[in-house]
Amino acid sequence: MTRALILSLVALLGAVPAGAHRQEPVASPAGDSQSPPVFRSHANLVTLQVNVFDRRSQAVTELPQAAFRVYEDGVEQDIQFFADREVPVAVGLVMDNSSSMIARRDLVHAGVTAFADSSREADEMFTIVFNEHVRFGLPESIPFTRDHDLLLSAFTRFPAGGLTALHDAVISGLAHLAEASHQKRVLVVLSDGDDNASHASESNMLYRAAQSNALIYTIWTGDLTADRGNPRLLRTLAQRSGGVAYGPRSERETVSAFAAVAQNVRRGYSIGYTPSNSAADGTYRHVKVIVTASNRTLNVRTRDGYIAPDDRVDQAERGGAGDRE
């Protein structure tokens, strides 16, 4: 594949993670909460969205291509495309509005304000406000907005109270992100991590997170002194998607976490390579990205694999299409 062709493909894809085309929801296998993150590649060029953080969970920018190495099933791959530019993002803010948040309404408003103030004009945003009900904060006719005032007004539409359906809210947020026009997609979840009202299970939520191309950032609002909440689940949710979990210890740190997420979500690196294993066998390929920078401890976040194309499936689909004609 020539460099010109690769660049043309990337321009068309917008540095899209492999498999960023829309997928219908897939039910997780029973008890499959530990299944690896999966995205599907239907072209030779595999693209990865890679985020690099320092020990303070701050995004590390301006690293050269030479600092990155990509391995597929243990075999180093030839990086054929590399970009580190800031891009517009689609962001869903999923905010807990249950009884535990009654006294924290001002905190939520301040955090969302900090996030909106740090966003860019081209970003697409929406909100979900949940207790035992999962509600979209924007009017039904407005799936995404760039209007900060409209975004903030969503949190005054529904009074706080009730139970907590965290799993359902995250799944709804991921499904809505799939409709965004921007290819970089982020879900920001504010919650204490408890769930006592969802129809979906924890394992199903984690499976959907792994299937999605969205990065998930979580901000914990639990009570450290009372040992309340489930920060472990929020950490797992973030890790499953390649995102970051924040555990602020004060309201001031919570607001700062929103601002940090807003800065981090637009940063990162897009890496493209053509796999040395060209077999179209539908197998799962493990991917690992290693970043080397002198005298720095860095944390690399990206998905850890993809499913290769399967000629058998493609042939069956073509045959089915022919029968319908």
Residues 170-195 have pLDDT tens digits of: 999 999 999 999 878 899 999 999 99
What DSSP character marks residue 228? B
Contact between 51 and 279 under an 8 Å Cβ cutoff? The reply is no
| pLDDT band at 323; cut points 50, 70, 90 | very low
The architecture that CATH gives domain 90-264 is 3-Layer(aba) Sandwich (3.40)
User: What's the rounded Cα separation, in Å, for the pair 173 and 191?
Assistant: 14
Mean pLDDT lowest among 17-31, 110-124, 173-187, 213-227: 17-31
| Of 260, 279, 269, 215, residue with least CA distance to 242 | 215
Architecture of domain 36-85+269-324: Sandwich (2.60)
**227 pLDDT tier (thresholds 50, 70, 90):** low
Per-residue pLDDT at 187:
96
Find how far residue 70's CA is from the centre of its chain: 20
pLDDT band, very low/low/confident/very high, at 29 (cuts 50, 70, 90): very low
Residue 245 makes CB contacts below 8 A (sequence gap 6+) with: 217, 218, 220, 231, 234, 235, 237, 238, 239
In the predicted model, what is the mean pLDDT of residues 131-137?
Answer: 95
Measured from the Cβ of residue 17, the count of other Cβ atoms closer than 10 Å reads 24
**pLDDT for position 43:** 54
The CATH 2.60.40 domain(s) of the chain lie at: 36-85+269-324
Q: Minimum mean pLDDT among 37-41, 82-86, 144-148, 216-220: which range?
A: 37-41
Greater pLDDT, 175 or 27: 175
| Mean pLDDT, all residues of the chain | 79
Whether the per-residue pLDDT at 15 is higher than 50: the answer is no
Q: How confident is the model at residue 313 (pLDDT cuts 50, 70, 90)?
A: low
Q: Where in the chain is the domain with CATH 3.40.50.410?
A: 90-264
Instruction: Give the full edge-to-edge strand order of the sheet including 284-291.
Output: 75-77, 68-72, 284-291, 305-307
Give the Å distances, CA to CA, from 171 to 83, 92, 130, 204, 210: 30, 11, 12, 9, 11
Can you give the pTM of this predicted structure?
Answer: 0.71
- Residue-wise pLDDT tens digits, 234-288: 999 998 887 889 988 888 888 888 888 888 887 788 888 999 999 988 888 899 9
